[in-house]
Structure 1
Amino acid sequence: MRSGQHASGPPADGPMLAGLAEQAPADFGVRVLRMAGIPREVYDVYVRLDTAAGGLFVASGQEAVTGTALDAGELDATAFEELHRGRTGRSALPTARPFPGVVPALRTGRARRLRIDLSPLDPVDQDVLEAVRAIPAGQLRPIGWIAREAGAAPDEVLVGLAHNPATVLIPGHRAVYDDGTPCDLAHPPGAAEALRAAEGVDMRRVAELRRRGAVFLGSDTTRIYCHPTCAHARRITRPHQVPFRTAREAGRAGYRACKSCRPVTV
């Protein structure tokens, strides 16, 4: 090359430097720790998965899911890592592989058998959240029902819902106050509504039944009464629906409680 003539192509190390700008693999940090001999049990990993309410960060250890959070508002990956460290005392690193069972649980809304670590919580909170996990997809249960199932007081149920470390997977969006209004603790605005809609819960129908005095809904053919969103109650055609304000009223009318949704009977 003559003096004063400039090279027209990239420098010899151009491709190498350009490669540094590429995004690292999702599990790059995990690989580094593994190569450094850091024990797997001292840190968690997480993925971001799509849900009806937006992206959901799901962290897990070797044995169980250890926390989730919807990426609403300003909660990005860095903020989730900080939130998780504050909750558990462990770092969470991104990975490409979700914890076994998480994806089908999100797809079906059935996460009852998914392993979720609730050990950092108070025992009462654990009992409350285990009761919430028993609420089937597409159905709602009042605070009184959750309290009975958990052996807790209603105010303890509210505290447990607020402490939910695994939102969506532990379906707090299926809990309602005893007057039927949603109890959307630990959910960002709009998230619980989106989750209920995705599960086919018609909140307008629920509100209409409440206006008709239907805290419970009976069938005059089976003589069974249920929570209005119970799968059996949704099959009762309107001419055969019998609304009840209380379980006592249903019992006096000769109706028995559904064995599936187990309405409060006192």
Structure 2
Amino acid sequence: MRSDREVPRLDAARPGLAGLVTEPPADFAARVLRRAGVPRERYDTYVRLGTAAGGLYVAASPEAVTGAALDTGGLTAPGFEELHRSRTNRSALRSAKPFPGVTTALRTGRARRLPIDLSPLAPADRAVLEAVRAIPAGQLRPVGWIAREAAVDPAAVPGALALNPAAVLIPCHRVTYDNGTPCDAGYLPGAGEALRAAEGIEPGRVAELRRRGVVFLGSDTTRIYCHPTCAHARRITPPHQVPFRTAREAGRAGYRACKSCRPLTA
């Protein structure tokens, strides 16, 4: 039996003993489950990756990404695990290896082909988020465009964006209200701005065009009109830019809609 005289000596030794403790490998829990014979299909794994807006927790099953959340609001790993469990009813365990394609998608801004499980959402919300996934990196689309692509009421779009289960990978930061101001329904303040800046997007320019009544930009050489942030619109030099307030105005002037950004047609 230990005497009271031994307690001070044990307390004095604790700092040294603490140095002998090391963090387990990131995928330690997943390894234990594999060794125990638990099928991989019964749980998700997650990693934390860097983005222009901070750390991003990304969870995945063997088949698809099942969730992603920024840590900009102070979200911790245990907090993400609980958030993921409440949303999907599946456990998420730390891993050292991200789902295939996630790292590339974050680096290039191209995640449209990345498998993302949206099955827990209502059909209308899924349709909105699938439309958002079609917006190319470095470009913006208004709520009206999203509503048309998803075949929903424009008033339903911000609510669907707020339900985005895969932050950044489903690029809601590329959506604006119809007046050109960002619709950051699913982000904390500053996150959307950081993500747009990293892609070279200038929402202020779009908002300024809207204030001047310019909704579309046409090229007097190709006779095509586009959304202002479309890759083709950005190549139109100022002397050849033709502003339009509506698609009907562009159509009457003999311009046709861009097949890339698919603006509203006349």
Same fold (TM over 0.5): yes
Q: Shift in Å at residue 210 of structure 1?
A: 2.1
Q: Is the 8 A contact 1:140 1:176 kept in 2?
A: yes
SS in 1 for 2:80: helix
For 2:124 and 2:208, the matched residues in 1 are separated by 34
Look up the match of 2:29: 29
Preserved contact between residue 180 and residue 203 of structure 2 (Cα < 8 Å): no
5 Å matches for 1:58-207? 58-207=58-207
Q: Which runs of 5+ in 2 are unaligned?
A: 1-9
Shift of 1:19: 6.6
Q: In the aligned structure 2, how far is the partner of 1:214 from the partner of 1:223? A: 17
What CA deviation, in whole Å up to 9, does each residue of 1:33-67 have, x standing for no partner?
Answer: 11222221111110000001110000000100000
Say if 1:144 and 1:264, in contact at 8 Å, map to a contact too.
Answer: no
What does 1:240-255 align with in structure 2 at a 5 Å threshold?
240-255=240-255
User: SS at 2:56's partner residue?
Assistant: strand
Q: CA RMSD in A?
A: 2.2
Residue 240 of structure 1 aligns with an amino acid whose one-letter code is: H
Between the aligned partners of 1:47 and 1:232, the Cα distance in structure 2 is 36
* Higher alpha-carbon deviation: 207-216 or 57-66: 207-216
Give the Cα separation in 2 of the matches to 1:19 and 1:44.
Answer: 32
* TM-score, normalisation: structure 2: 0.92
Seen in structure 2, the aligned counterparts of structure 1 residues 19 and 32 have a Cα distance that, compared at 3 Å, is farther
Shift of 1:17: 5.0
Q: How far apart, CA to CA, are the structure 2 residues paired with 1:224 and 1:39?
A: 54
Determine the C-alpha separation between the residues in 2 that align with 1:164 and 1:73: 16
**1:222 positional shift:** 1.3
| Distance in 2 between residues matched to 1:87 and 1:20, nearest whole Å | 38
SS at match of 1:47: strand
Q: CA deviation at 1:157?
A: 1.9
Report the Cα offset of residue 18 of structure 1: 4.8
Q: Partners in 2 of 1:39 and 1:252 — Cα distance? A: 62
Give the ranges of 4+ consecutive aligned residues of structure 1 lying more than 3 Å apart after TM superposition: 16-20
Question: Which position in structure 2 is the counterpart of 1:227?
Answer: 227
Q: 1:125 to 1:255 in 2, by over 3 A?
A: same
SS at match of 1:200: coil
What TM-score do you get using the length of structure 1 for normalisation?
0.92
Cα distance in 2 between the residues matched to 1:160 and 1:210: 24
CA 1:28–1:20 in 2, change beyond 3 Å: closer, same or farther? farther
Deviation at 1:20, TM superposition (A): 5.5
3-state secondary structure, aligned to 1:193: helix
Is this contact kept in 2: 1:212–1:243, CA < 8 A? Answer: no
Q: Residue by residue, what CA displacement relative to the aligned partner does 1:165-223 show, whole Å, maximum 9, x if unpaired?
A: 00100000001111111100111110111111111101232233223321111111111
Query: Is contact 2:133-2:170 (8 Å) kept?
Result: yes
